[in-house]
Amino acid sequence: MSGWLAIAGLGPGAPELVTPEVTQALAQATDLIGYAPYVARVSERVGLSRHVSDNREERDRARLALRLAAEGRRVIVVSSGDPGVFAMAAAVFEAVDCGDPSWRNLDIKVLPGISAMFAAAARIGAPLGHDFCAINLSDNLKPWELIERRLRLAAQAGFVIALYNPLSKARPWQLGRALALLRKELPEVVPVAFASAVSDAKEAIDVTTLRDAVAERADMRTLVLIGSSQTRLIARPDGSPFVYTPRSAGVSP
């Protein structure tokens, strides 16, 4: 059988949020490649070789996957959420672009998954109901000055902003700096949602305001949603409001 490579998204956490397409590919694969916590989400079975690596070894993972597929293996590279959103799909195509010319002939597919921003938004209502953007706060692959510029311009343009990779032990200051910058550009009452471990047993979601948002609430499993000046709250008796952004800019419902 000819080899192939699938780059698959496992969704935010819950098994029921993994798409049937991804489940089928996992059942057919001979080799599973990914960051250890993501590989651990896939059940072991006879005939499936597991290749685990560290979080910052994306290039090595991509090259290994391509080599195995070229050897005729059925390879699946897994990411959390969607593999095309700050994840392994881009790493694989970077390797194809710069690597062995024969890799361009491989059967390579990207299998979408539910990204963290969509899972988090669904939990609280419809904060992405109008224009929005996603910004990765990690400065491992781009300068912090560029991140600040994008944050400032996104806020000025009226986008709801989904912040990925808000902080880590190695990067403890970025989210605090981002929140301070956004307070200069947006009303202090703009809703902010911290959504951690969405859809698994450790899920925790808090909705606050930009004024009261505290960076320490987040970790690497947290998606931070910053509303626009149009984003609204609908109060509820249980204290957990619905959050939504009207579909029309500047038009009252």
Distance separating alpha carbons of residues 10 and 185, to the nearest angstrom: 35
Secondary structure of 58-73 in the HEC alphabet?
A: HHHHHHHHHHHHHCCC
Global pTM reads 0.93
- Each residue of 128-164: pLDDT tens digit? 999 999 999 999 999 999 999 999 999 999 999 999 9
pLDDT value, residue 171: 85
Residue 44 DSSP code: P
Q: Which two tokens stand for residue 20?
A: 């049937």
pLDDT value, residue 120: 97
* Domain span(s) for CATH 3.30.950.10 in the chain: 117-244
Residue type, 200: D
Q: CA nearest 73: which of 98, 109, 41, 48?
A: 48
CA 142 to each of CA 40, 61, 88: distance values in angstroms, whole numbers, following the listed order: 29, 21, 17
Distance separating alpha carbons of residues 50 and 33, to the nearest angstrom: 6
Task: Identify the CATH class of 117-244.
Answer: alpha beta
103 phi and psi angles, rounded to 5 deg: -65, -20
Q: CA nearest 161: which of 169, 153, 172?
A: 153
- Where would I find the H helices in 107-143? 116-124
Domain 4-114 bears CATH identifier 3.40.1010.10: yes
Cα dihedral: 143, 147, 148, 152 (round 10): 150
Residue 212 DSSP code: T
pLDDT value, residue 1: 55
SS3 state at 177: helix
Q: Which two tokens stand for residue 193?
A: 């949602």
* Helix or strand holding residue 152 (H, E): helix 144-157
Distance separating alpha carbons of residues 142 and 149, to the nearest angstrom: 12
Residue type, 95: A
How many alpha carbons fall within 13 Å on the CB side of residue 91?
25
pLDDT value, residue 251: 54
Which residue stretches of the chain have pLDDT < 50?
253
pLDDT value, residue 56: 80
pLDDT value, residue 253: 46
* Domain span(s) for CATH 3.40.1010.10 in the chain: 4-114
